[in-house]
Amino acid sequence: MEIKYINRKTKKIHSESPPAEGLLKFLYDNPFGNTAILPLVKRKLISAFYGRIMDKPSSSEKIEKFVNKLGIDMSESQKNITEFKSFNDFFYRKLKTTARPISKGFVSPGDGRLLAFENIMDLQNFFVKGRGFTLTEFLNDKETAKKHENDSLIILRLAPNDYHRYHFPTDGNVSKTKKIKGSYFSVSPYALAGNFTKVFCENKREYVTLFSKEKGEIILAPVGATMVGSIFESFTPNTNVKKGDEMGYFAFGGSTIVILVDKTKIKIDADLLENTKNKMESYVKMGESIGK
């Protein structure tokens, strides 16, 4: 499976091979892998165990090889390779303040590959198989789901080589977090193509509501995945936050942030919607404008 995405700035199309591509094929396409091995991989204890390994000082030996293999620009990092105490310390590294300028408008909360749907129901025609995706399942809250059923939906997929801290996309007052227990399916396009609903409605996730006078209520939902040890919060609930303030970060693994916005108050940029219609993710960086 060749994953293609477009770089918004250069307009060039790039190809991406997911890490452990062979294993993902086995887990999600092979009947034995899907029924016998996948149920073990998705369990918390596997991801938690791997997370502990990545917290050990000895794991820092993996950093340089990882950086070279994935072409990570370390000139953006506040620390250099020798200063990290573990692989996870490197994985959720902080960047220099100049590395991610904050643009005008509604901005991306993180680095990653983005899909944008002006109407949530458009998702059904993209890659959902099996049972239909519902907000009630995803949010685990009928009242909140009803309030946002006509929203626009944004999915930001973070690959292992991306910056793994995420930030608030606009000013507002942030609620406390609602945590939803779940499994740890991969968020790779391999897994999503098989059944988007299963992955996003069964994975561990949490969400907050960002209240903005001008932009309405915005749902920000980090979603865990295979080999993601933890989702960490950096903010204080029930306080006012500024656009660009750090919201949290992921430990090792690929991860995703789901965003719901009121389409009568925030209009997603046309190129992002068009790329999504063409089955193409758009590569964006934290602080980059994605809507008006």
Res 263: pLDDT: 96
Q: Between β-strands 172-174 and 239-241, what pairing exists: parallel, antiparallel or unpaired?
A: antiparallel
- Please give the pLDDT value at position 94: 97
Establish whether 151 is a catalytic residue.
Answer: no
Which pLDDT band, with edges at 50, 70 and 90, does 22 fall under? Answer: very low
18: pLDDT confidence band, cut at 50, 70 and 90? low
When mean pLDDT is compared across 21-35, 38-52, 240-254, the lowest value belongs to 21-35
Residue at token pair 């250069």: 10
| Selection from 201, 5, 192 nearest residue 113 by Cα | 5
Residue from 60, 108, 186, 255 carrying the catalytic annotation? 255
**Count of the separate structural domains present in the chain:** 1
**What radius of gyration do the chain's Cα atoms show?**
18
Q: How confident is the model at residue 149 (pLDDT cuts 50, 70, 90)?
A: very high
In the structure, what pLDDT confidence band is assigned to residue 224 with cuts at 50, 70 and 90?
Answer: confident
Range of the domain at 182: 3-291
What average pLDDT does the structure give for the chain?
Answer: 82
**Rounded distance, CA 104 to CA 265, Å?**
15
- 73 belongs to the catalytic site: no
Weakest mean pLDDT among 36-50, 120-134, 164-178: 36-50
Query: Does the pLDDT value for residue 44 go beyond 60?
Result: no
DSSP 15-84: EE--TTHHHHHHHHHSHHIIIIIHHHHTSHHHHHHHHHHHHSGGGGGGHHHHHHHHT--GGGBSS-GGG-
Catalytic residue among 111, 151, 162, 269: 111
- Whether 35 shows a pLDDT value over 90: the answer reads no
Catalytic residue of the set 167, 183, 188, 282 = 167
pTM attached to this predicted model: 0.84
Q: Do 247 and 166 touch, CB atoms closer than 8 A?
A: yes
pLDDT at 217: 97
Q: What does the pLDDT read at residue 223?
A: 87
Q: Is residue 167 annotated as part of the catalytic site, yes or no? A: yes
Residues 228-247 pLDDT 10s: 457 889 999 999 999 999 99
* Digit-coded pLDDT (tens) for 51-102: 567 789 999 999 999 899 889 999 999 999 999 999 889 999 999 999 999 9
